[in-house]
Amino acid sequence: MNNCPIGVFDSGVGGLTVVKELIRQLPNENIVYFGDTARVPYGVKSKPTIIRFSIENILFLLKKKVKLICVACNTASSLALPSIKGHFNIPIVGVIAPGARRASQLSSSRRIGVIGTSATIKSRAYEKELKRLDPKIKVFTQACPLFVPFVEEAWINKKPLEDVAKIYLEPLKKKKIDTLILGCTHYPLLKNLINKIMGPKVNLVDSAKETVKQLKDLLIREGRLRKKTSRSKKVFYVTDEKTSFYYLGKSFLGSDLIKVKRVNNV
- The CA distance from 84 to 127, in Å, is 21
- The CA distance from 238 to 246, in Å, is 10
Q: DSSP letters along 224-264, please?
A: -PPP-SS---EEEEESS-SHHHHHHHHHHHGGG--EEEE-S
Residue 257's pLDDT band (boundaries 50, 70, 90)?
Answer: low
Summarised one tens digit per residue, pLDDT across range 98-123 is 999 999 999 999 999 999 999 999 99
Cβ contacts of residue 156 below 8 Å, gap of 6+?
A: 150, 189, 190, 193
Contact 9, 80 (CB under 8 A): no
Q: What angle do CA 83, 69, 126 make, to 5 degrees?
A: 50
Task: Indicate which residues carry an active-site annotation.
Answer: 73, 184
Q: Which CATH architecture has domain 6-95+209-262?
A: 3-Layer(aba) Sandwich (3.40)
Q: 10 vs 229, which has greater pLDDT?
A: 10
In this structure, which CATH number among 2.60.40.420, 1.10.10.60, 3.40.50.1860, 3.60.15.10 belongs to the domain 96-207? 3.40.50.1860
What is the reported pLDDT for 254? 77
Residue 2's pLDDT band (boundaries 50, 70, 90)?
Answer: confident
Task: Kindly calculate the radius of gyration of the chain based on its CA atoms and give it in whole angstroms.
Answer: 17
What is the reported pLDDT for 123? 95
Residue 265 has pLDDT above 70, yes or no: no
What is the reported pLDDT for 154? 80
Same fold, 6-95+209-262 and 96-207: yes
Summarised one tens digit per residue, pLDDT across range 211-228 is 999 999 999 999 999 998
- The CA distance from 173 to 72, in Å, is 27
Summarised one tens digit per residue, pLDDT across range 63-94 is 999 999 999 999 999 999 988 888 899 999 99
From the list 30, 34, 18, 32, the residue with the least C-alpha distance to 245 is 34
- Annotated domain spans of the chain: 6-95+209-262, 96-207
- The CA distance from 24 to 18, in Å, is 10
Residue 137's pLDDT band (boundaries 50, 70, 90)?
Answer: very high
Residue 231's pLDDT band (boundaries 50, 70, 90)?
Answer: confident
Residue 36 has pLDDT above 80, yes or no: yes
pTM, to two decimals: 0.89
Q: Please list the residues that pair with 69 across neighbouring strands.
A: 7, 92
